[in-house]
Structure 1
């Protein structure tokens, strides 16, 4: 039976999430998580597993299936995501919490964080705290997208700056500044942060070449995640002006192949920290 707890003192995320949008391109979105899971060095089946930022529960379900004897917890700040996760992963225990104040209820053997920490400012202390909370021989496994140099992201911020008719920037300055603020480090930075006498850190990057189908598939991809702060931060009129310009720019940057498919390179950074 799935139980959902709201951790005292936590507030829901300021960014809205739509589970149905996020579930587009499920094979492409799941592949990095499964690749990461295959690199987890567990000497014995874990007893306690946490899926941080569990979203709609797709990976949580994989974890409950992979480790049927484990107590699997899904943690997310979005009530909409948790509602979907309750149906997707009925064997998991679900908790509503902000990652900045989250603490494990039990010492975990595995903490999984799939596409989460790039959304969390100043997450270095959270990573260190999570590693310290692991059970002996426990593992923290995380992956996060690397996107600030990509065409879709640069065009998104440029469209906000260029603005609508008359050249007035769209949204308030705080929105535009927050989008340009990078919360992630490079691989060497995470190694310096997490490697030590009591830990082993395995860190790497991979660029996936996603082959997408359907009309305007890059828009459909970013609408589910990367574009959420823009959707939340603009008025209806501003977003309509933004969408017209941005969509045209995406079509030029990611033209479809003659067969109608669209190539979408997407880089991700992976880290696996093993507590000795």
Structure 2
């Protein structure tokens, strides 16, 4: 289960995602920092490993642990294998994937928000149940919580605006609609996971990314939330370009410029660490 799709295809684009590699890596480091310097898992599964950047950080932080990465995207797995040729990577859909029983650390960076709301908590709790109770097993993940941010509101508004793209979006079945379901609140995650855990920690961090201009926001979300919208549109006839122009216009309305002309992208992320 990966987090970036290549336009005009059913796979994802590692290169587009990696345009903002350092900024996208910050939540990974923050999540691991919470676990503390003395935390030493013996086995790790990187759930939705993408291009392997999170797996690389895990390998560096826990060099003695058994580590495997899984993802649903062939192109992401290919990129990950290039980055870490000695680490095993395997295709998997998190809705049906069963990690090795008793895995010490189930880690996931920006993946579970891609699941529909009806699948999200059942998938997370099923994965959590593969860890032995009172064993010290940990499930640690973060998901963007930005559905109501201007960057994502503008996607939905642009899709519904008059233009040749609107018919393409309207024709999609409900299960294939490109807008993501809102992620659960702190208390919803806590209430769902606490019956299975000794301790559950939940918090939200708001990151602010300084970008050169509004085109920077477009390039950022092309590697994530905007990709399903682009994938629903034909490459020919200027439909996709028209939609992007409408989207960018709405970004200009939603984001003012700083004194130096740059644009600040506000990006909330929800963190969950569950101790089995």
TM range (shorter): 0.7 to 0.9
Q: Paired residue for 1:118, among 113, 118, 124?
A: 113
Answer whether contact 1:160 1:169 (CA < 8 A) is retained.
no
Which residue number in structure 1 is paired with residue 222 of structure 2?
Answer: 223
What TM-score results when the alignment is normalised by the length of structure 2? 0.87
Gaps (5+ residues) in structure 1?
1-11
What TM-score results when the alignment is normalised by the length of structure 1? 0.87
Specify whether residues 198 and 152 from structure 1 end up closer, same or farther in structure 2 by C-alpha distance, changes over 3 A only.
Answer: closer
Instruction: Return the alpha-carbon distance in structure 1 between the equivalents of residues 180 and 115 of structure 2.
Output: 11
Answer whether contact 1:213 1:262 (CA < 8 A) is retained.
yes
SS at match of 1:155: helix
Instruction: Return the alpha-carbon distance in structure 1 between the equivalents of residues 23 and 36 of structure 2.
Output: 24
> Bigger shift: 182-191 or 209-218?
209-218
The alpha carbon displacement at 1:134 in A equals 1.8
The alpha carbon displacement at 1:87 in A equals 1.6
The alpha carbon displacement at 1:15 in A equals 4.8
Specify whether residues 45 and 239 from structure 1 end up closer, same or farther in structure 2 by C-alpha distance, changes over 3 A only.
Answer: same
Which residue number in structure 2 is paired with residue 95 of structure 1?
Answer: 90
Which residue number in structure 2 is paired with residue 189 of structure 1?
Answer: 188
Which residue number in structure 2 is paired with residue 272 of structure 1?
Answer: 273
1:50 aligns with 2:49: no
1:245 aligns with 2:242: no
SS at match of 2:35: coil
Which residue number in structure 2 is paired with residue 62 of structure 1?
Answer: 57
Q: Paired residue for 1:36, among 31, 39, 52?
A: 31
Specify whether residues 170 and 256 from structure 1 end up closer, same or farther in structure 2 by C-alpha distance, changes over 3 A only.
Answer: farther
Specify whether residues 240 and 182 from structure 1 end up closer, same or farther in structure 2 by C-alpha distance, changes over 3 A only.
Answer: same
Answer whether contact 2:214 2:252 (CA < 8 A) is retained.
no
> Bigger shift: 245-254 or 63-72?
245-254
Gaps (5+ residues) in structure 2?
none
SS at match of 2:19: coil
The root-mean-square deviation of aligned C-alpha atoms, in Å, is 2.4
1:80 aligns with 2:81: no
